[in-house]
């Protein structure tokens, strides 16, 4: 039995995201070579205003880090002429994002003019032919809507239900096509996109997904458990590197790689620099900051629980998660697989 649910599926990250997103920061740091390669092929000499967009900026700390790197690289490579051109940055995320946190980060960092765009990146967010440099990191695995509930797991990657997996696969393909179509419209000819996409690394996803589901089985009613389906799909390399789609939207593939983003936590644990308890605590806080909303939503939408009960269940859930990680941590790979892509909008489209 799977029920369809087409309302927006996440509000954004939990409040503590900025301090619990080191893993995502590592992916941003590893994208700098791709940013440089994108700038090498960028052709924007005649633009008076260079618009840079970050899609899925969340609470801002990693986003500002990426933007500052892009601006520095534009200056170093002289692709940006400070006497003739200006830089304007758009931080995009869902309307329900914690924008106050992002504005706080922007207020502390006054090195560029940054504004917010609160609109789904699966729609057009900027005027056509305006964007020079589009960037996104660890955001495209969040689907626009949940295509169906998953009946045997909470994450599609560990499900064995072929028809449900297929619905997720199709939704992810459609969302990706929309993302590329709208970014292509927004880009000026000669403009570029750098995409850092969380990839499907089968074994790691399955271990963690199993733990997320086991914890939910202990606390949720059958209907809540069914509704607790994360609207996430981690794409494979071939799903990301789709030359027909690039061609259709006038985009040229400059570079694509699958990259292992190493987490230093695993290494520190092996060297005895941190304890297993600490690793489980840090990892749980990170997963909670990024993924709590769908669980909360499953509890709220079933209207069976008081607000106090929901708060209690959420705490219990993450306690169980931390305990489960401690028991299994030797098995957990704390690294992350990503696909990094550089695309350029063709000049003679
Ligand atoms: C894991 S965070 C990554 C944030 C940041 N790029 C980083 O590297 O830390 C994913 C972000 O994507 C946003 N997001 C998810 N779906 C979105 C959509 N359809 N439109 C805009 N933002 C979206 C979420 O709200 C969240 O802030």
Give CB contacts under 8 A, 24+ apart, made by 275-280. 276/326, 276/329, 276/330, 277/326, 279/325, 279/329, 279/334, 280/322, 280/323, 280/325, 280/326, 280/329
Residue 227 has a pLDDT of 96
pLDDT tens for residues 257-310? 999 998 778 778 888 888 889 889 988 998 998 899 999 999 999 998 999 999
- Atom index in ligand 1 nearest the CA of residue 137 equals 6
Quick: pLDDT tens for 320-329: 999 998 887 6
Contact 267, 26 (CB under 8 A): no
Look at 57-71, 189-203, 261-275 and tell me which has the smallest mean pLDDT: 261-275
28-63 confidence digits (pLDDT tens): 999 999 999 999 999 998 899 999 999 999 999 999
Distance (Å, whole) CA 21 – CA 13: 10
SS3 340: strand
Widest CA span of the chain, in angstroms? 63
Residue written as tokens 């207020």? 107
Q: Is the beta carbon of 198 within 6 A of some atom in ligand 1?
A: no
Ligand 1 pocket test, candidate residues 139, 178, 338, most atoms within 8 A of CB: 139
Phi-psi region of 60 (alpha: psi -120 to 50; beta: other; left: phi over 0): left
Which domains does the chain carry?
Answer: 15-345 (3.40.50.150)
Judge if the beta carbon of residue 284 lies within 6 A of ligand 1. Answer: no
Ligand 1 neighbour 20 (Cβ under 6 A): no
pLDDT band for position 6 (cuts 50, 70, 90): very low
């Amino acid at each position: 039995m799977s029920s369809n649910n087409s309302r927006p599926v996440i509000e954004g990250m939990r409040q503590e995201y900025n301090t619990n997103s080191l893993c995502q920061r590592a992916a941003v740091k590893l994208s700098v070579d791709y940013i440089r390669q994108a700038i090498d092929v960028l052709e924007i000499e005649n633009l008076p205003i260079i618009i840079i967009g970050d899609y899925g900026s969340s609470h801002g700390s990693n986003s500002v880090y990426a933007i500052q790197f892009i601006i520095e690289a534009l200056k170093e490579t002289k692709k940006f002429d400070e006497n003739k051109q200006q830089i304007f940055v758009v931080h995009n995320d869902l309307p329900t994002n914690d924008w106050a946190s992002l504005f706080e980060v922007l207020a502390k960092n006054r090195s560029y003019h940054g504004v917010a765009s609160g609109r789904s990146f699966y729609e057009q967010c900027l005027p056509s032919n305006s964007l020079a440099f589009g960037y996104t990191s660890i955001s495209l695995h969040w689907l626009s809507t949940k295509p169906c509930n998953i009946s045997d797991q909470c994450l599609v990657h560990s499900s064995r239900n072929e028809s449900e997996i297929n619905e997720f696969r199709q939704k992810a393909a459609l969302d990706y096509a929309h993302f590329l179509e709208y970014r292509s419209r927004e880009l000026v000819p000669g403009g570029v996109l750098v995409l850092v996409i969380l990839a499907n690394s089968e074994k790691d996803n399955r271990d963690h997904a199993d733990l997320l589901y086991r914890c939910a089985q202990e606390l949720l009613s059958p209907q809540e458990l069914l509704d607790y389906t994360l609207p996430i799909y981690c794409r494979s390399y071939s799903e990301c590197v789709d030359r027909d789609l690039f061609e259709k939207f006038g985009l040229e593939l400059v570079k694509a790689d699958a990259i292992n983003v190493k987490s230093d936590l695993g290494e520190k644990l092996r060297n005895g620099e941190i304890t297993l308890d600490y690793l489980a605590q840090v990892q749980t806080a990170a997963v909670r900051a990024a993924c709590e909303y769908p669980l909360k939503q499953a509890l709220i939408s079933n209207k069976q629980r008081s607000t106090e009960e929901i708060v209690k269940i959420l705490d219990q859930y993450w306690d169980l998660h931390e305990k489960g990680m401690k028991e299994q941590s030797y098995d957990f790979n704390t690294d992350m697989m990503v696909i990094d892509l550089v695309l350029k909008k063709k000049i003679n489209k």
